Chains A and B, each alone.
Chain A
């Protein structure tokens, strides 16, 4: 168990400059993972940057009343947080920027920890603002930015914001180990959606997402066989017009949806796909709102780089699993569906590494 890579090694070896840590639920040990990573990465001599999407790191968990560790920024690390949660003297922070937009807790302040500081992280909620802050932190001299995806803020994992993603999960996801593993298998499947295997289709899909219009991709016939064309559907979204969009599909090989892809659309696309080869292409996995495997080929134009999964075997309801059993069960569940993802419990140190590269393969 002491041999091989730890989570911090997986992150630092990946060479990415920003990592989102997103949780599947509340109390899955996201903050523990964050603290573990920031201290380990700093120990490796890397300058870490910390930012959150929304609010996190309260000393008491606002939902459950359980004590909750706040984030400790080691000396030299950069943080971005709202001025409202910094104590009066912002002690220990050298302020290098104050952003204009007012949030619930005031403006976002960017600063460098002159000494180790424990603080709350409060960040913006929009992916666009978050991406701007990540870039600012990198400009200021951060080696790697850790983006804390606050509760249900999976947008932190958007490729527009972060280069890579760590999925934090735990006992609070579900009570029994088998269902946890199964549920996680689905989440990992979803977050690992690859590009369309046909290069020409993948490239047209990127073009369609840039256009911001729902588009169909058709295979050319006759002499042009093997080539594809893009046909706009004149809808910016599929929400509320699922049928209208699909009725226009004709003999399309795929539909590209630049915005949110709903479960309703996937269900309808599945019955459509029964008659022919048909794929749904979303801009990224974060834009897909599915609760189960859709039964239709599902691809993205910007795949997420899922590095690892962390587990917290203890839930606030008092349910606890054996960390080793849990880590192994989850690792095995991934292996069963064809994913080689390392699984860690950063508290007990248990891990299951089937493919240490940490790259999700579609």
Chain B
């Protein structure tokens, strides 16, 4: 598994280097891939031995054109630099079949070059058509001259009823047939003479012959193309691989992402080395993992790309997080301090790394996980309270406790009474400490005081509102609009995660945050009093 992933990252890294050297080539490639049509329906038809429609044949011609242009660009940048899977094989014989004698933009037409017989039929058709046209024009001119009227493009002549002479004359002309009458007009159409009628009959036969010959061309072409099925399919897959690779490169460049370092599982002999965070603090026989060589997950300056975009869109500065996680860890911090974002960032980095994508951080070390569990906030499930929904959801990672999981827990038990909620959370974490043998990483955010100390696990804390800012009045009177309290929070909140002692108290910022968000001042003051009395 690890090797396969490393191979993916090697390819991605090589492509990133190529991009830096040849940015124009990449832009051009993206444009070519953008014009590519999905060929897999045509490929299925070929495999089943069916006859391809002109639209499907056009799509294959389009694939040939794309392959030709992509290959020439890859050659320009030295093919060896490209991962083999993303270099399409040449399709010249297919191209020659699909575009006899054509150049440039992909087009498909059942041209005369496919069949001399078809060419002959078309030629005869055209001649007969012209003869018919001449015959009809001759007749039309005669009628126009006799009546002093022009026959419009619709081929139908309207003669006013009040113009009795003309109506009578029209009716008497063998070249004209009356088609309909309205309140004011009588309408006539040219009647083809015997010659024209014979030509029409011939033309009708020729046209059906032509259609049949065209269908024959399509049948033969489809049969001939079938022998190239394997190479067409290989080229299409290679274009797909290339498209995927370029998309990965583009996304890595856009977020300045890095290659994660994968820690390989090794024997039990490595156990404990560099594992100070979680070793020997509980005295419980919980650390029985057979193959851990160090922290499960180390993130340096990691960021959540979507959250960062939002922060930067409102003119803020995003504060990335740095954290080392292993076994069970607890994160505390004030409301609006980014605890959930920290969990999401960890989950995203691991997911992206395991999908073979460069990760949004300065550096990342991790070993592969079998599952990632994350349930941010409380999902509304019909018929279940938020607490019940949380319990039901927790059964998922617990059912797979034998596998190595990244288990991201966001304030479990917040929906029930604090003392039992805290007890439940502690028990859940204890369960992982005691029973996990797969090397899972469990991260738990909480407002409960003393959870880390009770379990003897590492305690991380969001720095939170700077102490000096606590004295600052969130100048509400000067800032009437709704969003301004938020701005104040964004400005004074320090989202940095720091490792603190297990007993470090959880921040008591809820009332400051509530005040900053513009909650009625008398309520906040009363709350402060209650809080003081209650201890």
Contact = CB atoms under 8 A, between A and B. Distances in A.
A45 interface: no
Nearest to B207: A91
Nearest to B122: A115
Given A90-B54, A94-B107, A100-B37, A36 B154 contact: yes
A320 B158 contact: no
Q: Which of B58, B105, B126, B211 has the most CB of A within 10 A?
A: B58
B184 A2 contact: no
A229 interface: no
Interface string B215-251: 1001000000000000000000000000000000000
Contacts of A349: 150, 152, 158
Contacts, number: 94
A107 interface: yes
B37 A323 contact: no
Interface residues of B, number: 33
Given A95-B108, A98-B55, A349-B152, A89 B211 contact: yes
Question: Which secondary structure characterizes the binding site on chain A?
Answer: mixed
Contacts of B152: 36, 346-347, 349
Nearest to B210: A91
Contacts of B37: 98, 100
A135 B332 CA distance: 57
A89 B58 contact: no
A76 interface: no
B55 A95 contact: yes
A350 to B, nearest CB: 8
Contacts of B215: 88-89
A206 interface: no
A13 to B, nearest CB: 18
Nearest to B182: A320
B109 A94 contact: yes
Contact of B154 (A96, A107, A346): A346
Contacts of A323: 158, 182, 184-185
A321 interface: yes
Interface residues of A, number: 37
Nearest to A8: B153
A314 interface: yes
A325 B59 CA distance: 53
A233 interface: no
Contacts of A32: 154
Contacts of B154: 32, 35-36, 346-347
A358 B191 CA distance: 37
Contacts of A36: 152-154
A215 B158 CA distance: 53
Nearest to A2: B150
A88 B110 CA distance: 12
A109 interface: yes
A146 B249 CA distance: 42
B498 interface: no
A89 B156 contact: no
A150 B454 CA distance: 73
B472 interface: no
Q: Which of A83, A95, A115, A346 has the most CB of B within 10 A?
A: A95
A143 B303 CA distance: 52
Given A98-B37, A314-B182, A91 B211 contact: yes
Contact of B54 (A89, A313, A322): A89
Contact of A39 (B153, B158, B187, B218): B153
B195 interface: no
Nearest to B156: A347
B107 A325 contact: no
Given A95-B55, A321-B184, 7 more contacts: A36-B153, A89-B54, A89-B110, A89-B211, A320-B182, A323-B182, A324-B160
13 contacts: A35-B153, A36-B152, A39-B153, A83-B53, A88-B218, A89-B215, A91-B214, A96-B106, A96-B107, A98-B58, A107-B55, A322-B185, A349-B150
Instruction: Give me the 10 closest cross-chain CB pairs, A-B, nearest first.
Output: A94-B109, A322-B184, A320-B182, A348-B158, A89-B214, A95-B58, A90-B54, A95-B108, A39-B153, A83-B55
